[in-house]
Amino acid sequence: MVNAHVAHDCVVGNHVIMANAATLAGHVIVEDHASIGAYSGVHQFCRVGAHGYVGGYSVITKDVLPYSKTVSERKTQNYGVNTIGLERKGFTPDQIAGITTAFRRLLRSKLNTTQALDAIKAAGVTPEVKVIVDFIESSERGVIK
């Protein structure tokens, strides 16, 4: 994995993969078990959540949700839960189902982010879903949906 770049004041968690020429601008936070694809750039002050996957050649200008697959081609989009990656890392089917349900409320309902978070909380919050809720509530730049 040659030429990956980590700029000043970045925080990179454990077990992070940065492929060829992946680039972090200053003050980026990459949480544990995240993957950043080849030739991708992460804008300053953005965060990549735990177990988040950024596809190759992506340009990230908002926070990447934990457990998500995010790719930018013409428009940066969240493609849902990184199910295969979570299975490989030992998440149980019940844990993945809870994360998937939360993502459906957040990404596929007609609710805005605040309403979706309220619906997620009302349905009951598992430890994995709490990671998502806390991540969104602490986001300063907004999240990629």
Which pLDDT tens digit goes with each residue over 50-93?
999 999 999 999 999 999 999 987 788 889 999 999 999 999 99
Q: What is the pLDDT of residue 44?
A: 97
The residues with which 109 forms a beta bridge, in sequence order, are: none
Q: What is the pLDDT of residue 70?
A: 96
Structure tokens at 124: 């009951």
For residue 111, pLDDT over 90 is answered with yes
Q: What is the pLDDT of residue 73?
A: 77
Q: Is 95 helix (H, G, I), strand (E, B) or coil?
A: helix
The predicted model gives 127-138 an average pLDDT of 97
Which domains are present in the chain? 5-77 (2.160.10.10), 84-137 (1.20.1180.10)
Give catalytic residues, as residue numbers: 8-9, 26
* Long-range contacts, 10-16 (Cβ 8 Å, 24+): 13/50
